[in-house]
A and B are shown apart, each in its own frame.
Chain A
Amino acid sequence: AQKITQTQPGMFVQEKEAVTLDCTYDTSDQSYGLFWYKQPSSGEMIFLIYQGSYDEQNATEGRYSLNFQKARKSANLVISASQLGDSAMYFCAMREGDRLSFGNEKLTFGTGTRLTIIP
């Protein structure tokens, strides 16, 4: 079974609108973390936001927020007031606990969503 599922291969959004990128995950661990990364056409991986499984509040970083619904195992990324520079691939990733090495953060990635912002 897929550990991270991103069901939207591509999305087109009008500039200045908000956009939600979907991510669902599968784990039996109680302690885990969820990440979103942005990959522009230049290829680098840019960290956007992190949510820990025990965090009670949804994470926010500027225009990015993570809509964490633990019971539904979803961790959707919300981008408010989209900009042309937001056009990129977006990856959801999960870190599960490593009982042998606390602090180790092996990531499992989804297949990504290509977001295109239309002027």
Chain B
Amino acid sequence: NAGVTQTPKFRVLKTGQSMTLLCAQDMNHEYMYWYRQDPGMGLRLIHYSVGEGTTAKGEVPDGYNVSRLKKQNFLLGLESAAPSQTSVYFCASHSGALHEQYFGPGTRLTVT
């Protein structure tokens, strides 16, 4: 099993450009999450999904949109990137039956 994968691993964007980060999990998990990690801070929740077709805002949702059209995929979009969105982005999933969240390897995004 691949677990949780994230695409791409690295990306550099110019201010104003758009992009989509893809998170995929092969564990049939219901719950999926997008976090961002900035230097000196813990992870902060951006958006999450409690099932296919559902999304909800987390702690820091501004500037991001998400979609969960398929149960195994959770997409994070930046419509107009800003330097403040330079961060490492982590996707996570869990089944709801056990408490462990499975994290992807992260995407390092730089916005210049």
Residues of chain A at the chain B interface (Cβ within 8 Å): 4, 33, 35, 37, 43-45, 47, 50, 52, 91, 93, 95, 101-112
| Tally of contact residues, B, Cβ under 8 A | 27
Tell me, yes or no, whether B52 is within 8 Å of chain A by CB: no
| Shortest Cβ distance from B88 into A: residue | A43
Contact B42 A105 (CB under 8 A): no
The answer to whether B99 and A107 touch across the interface, beta carbons within 8 angstroms, is no
Contacts of B44 in A (CB 8 A): 109
How many Å lie between the Cα of A82 and that of B11 in the bound state? 36
Which residue from chain B places its CB closest to the CB of A109 in the assembled complex?
Answer: B42
Contact among A45, A105, A111 with B94 in the assembled complex (CB-CB below 8 Å)? A105
Contact B42 A112 (CB under 8 A): yes
When C-beta atoms are compared, the residue in chain A nearest to B9 turns out to be: A43
Q: Is B2 an interface residue (CB 8 A)?
A: no
Number of A-B pairs whose CB atoms are under 8 Å?
62
Assess the A105–B106 pair: CB atoms within 8 A: no
Q: Name the B residues within 8 Å of A45 (CB-CB).
A: 43, 90, 92, 103
Chain B residue, CB-CB nearest to A6 = B42
Is B100 a contact of A50 with CB atoms below 8 Å?
Answer: yes
For B30, list chain A residues within 8 Å (CB).
103
Q: Given A43-B105, A44-B103, A50-B100, are A106 and B48 neighbors across the interface (CB < 8 Å)?
A: yes
- B61 beta carbon closer than 8 Å to chain A: no
Asked if B100 and A47 make an inter-chain contact with CB atoms under 8 angstroms apart, the answer reads yes
Q: Complex: how many Å from CA A103 to CA B97? A: 7
Chain A residue contacts of B63, Cβ below 8 A: none
Q: Which residues of A contact B58 (CB under 8 A)?
A: 106
Q: Are B99 and A35 in contact (CB under 8 A)?
A: yes
Task: Please give the distance in Å from A90's CB to the nearest CB on chain B.
Answer: 11
Q: Is B31 an interface residue (CB 8 A)?
A: yes
* Minimum CB distance partner of B42 in chain A: A109
CA of A49 to CA of B74, assembled, Å = 26
Q: In the complex the two chains form, is A50's CB within 8 Å of B99's CB?
A: yes
Docked-complex contact B99 and A104, CB < 8 angstroms: no
> How far is B92's CA from A105's CA once the two chains are assembled, in angstroms?
11
Q: Which residues of A contact B99 (CB under 8 A)?
A: 33, 35, 50, 52, 95, 105
